[in-house]
Amino acid sequence: MTTKSVIVKQIAGEHLALRLLANNLFDYIELLKNTNIILDFSGVHTTSRSFMQQFSYRAENSDIHIIYTNESEIIRKMRHIASSPKKKPMIANLNPENLANLDPNEL
């Protein structure tokens, strides 16, 4: 299997903000079949959570092996945040005795 370096800035730019850009980048990577990918973030200054969530989703659901290189701390942290499972906070106690009876027949 061969290895290819992909320069993110050349494909998606230096400010990664849109899910569309993440899809474009991953679509390009998918064209490189049977290739290990070294994803080079040189010159990339910012990323949004939505870009990284979309890219992480595509990467996790693919059999492509990706090595990340030259990530700034901001890029690395956002990639980690986007790929980490999230616990949703409980916003209400749904204990049945705390719920009001909302049967329209009793109104």
Higher-scoring residue by pLDDT: 14, 83: 14
Q: What is the extent of the structural domain holding 27?
A: 2-85
Domains of the chain: total: 1
Higher-scoring residue by pLDDT: 102, 18: 18
Q: Please choose, from the candidates 24, 47, 48, 39, the residue with its C-alpha nearest in 3D space to the C-alpha of residue 70.
A: 39
Question: What percent of the chain shows pLDDT beyond 90?
Answer: 70
| pLDDT score recorded for residue 83 | 85
Has residue 100 got a pLDDT over 70? no
CB 69 within 8 A of CB 38: yes
CB 49 within 8 A of CB 81: yes
Please report which confidence band the pLDDT of residue 1 belongs to, taking 50, 70 and 90 as the band edges.
Answer: confident
- Is 98 a member of any domain? no
**Residue range 33-55: mean pLDDT, rounded:** 94
Q: Cα 4 vs. chain centroid, distance in angstroms?
A: 21
- The C-alpha atoms of residue 3 and residue 39 are separated, in whole angstroms, by 11
Q: Cα 93 vs. chain centroid, distance in angstroms?
A: 31
**Residue range 54-77: mean pLDDT, rounded:** 94
- Is 95 a member of any domain? no
- Is 102 a member of any domain? no
